[in-house]
Amino acid sequence: MSDEELYRAYLAGDEAGLRQLMERYGDSLTLYLNGYVHDLSDAEDLMVEAFARTVRAKPKLTENTFRAYLYKTGRHLAQRFYAWRTRSQTFSFEELEREPESGALLETTVTTRDKRRILHLCMEKLDPALREALWLVYFEGMSYAESARVMNKTPKQLDHLLQKGKKLLREELEKEGITDAEY
């Protein structure tokens, strides 16, 4: 069933429709929101809130717009949360108390994890709009139209952000010694 069919089924009283939508998008939306708030627990809370607000608002959705509406709602919540948190941020010893990782990891796992860490560090250096455009299209697999709706941009503006973002990300990755990145 399409997202919109599941959503309409939920509105008609079928709880399974919402459950399937949450299974379909819960994890990916959480990771997307984590890019804003940098705390997985907070991102999970925001994901649940995004679903709750979407259900409460009962928007009239056309074909292929549920995911964009959901992500746009989540994006708005994450931006508000991040602004609130940065105004009231305090020091935490949590980072100092973490256990070191096991030394028994295979070399390939370490290499993959290092490349992933470097990718995320390089993404963080990008302008937030460029980072978000890249994330939505390449990590979330959204179409240009869906991503543009989430970001309140035209597809042409989104394409410009993607081109610029890929160029700058490639430069950042090369500074870190990764020259075999593919897009």
- What is the chain's pLDDT, residue by residue, as a tens digit (183 residues)? 899 899 989 989 999 999 999 999 999 999 989 888 888 899 999 999 999 999 888 888 888 889 999 999 999 898 888 777 655 544 443 443 444 444 444 444 445 566 677 777 788 888 889 988 988 988 888 888 999 999 999 999 999 999 999 999 888 888 777 666 555
Distances (CA, A) of 132 to 8, 28, 57, 67, 115: 29, 14, 25, 15, 20
Q: Is residue 54 classed as helix, strand or coil in its secondary structure? A: helix
What letter does residue 183 receive in the DSSP assignment? -
| The model scores a pTM over 0.75 | no
Taking the C-alpha atoms of residue 84 and residue 82, their distance in angstroms, rounded to an integer, is 5
Task: For residue 9, count other CB atoms closer than 10 A to its CB.
Answer: 17
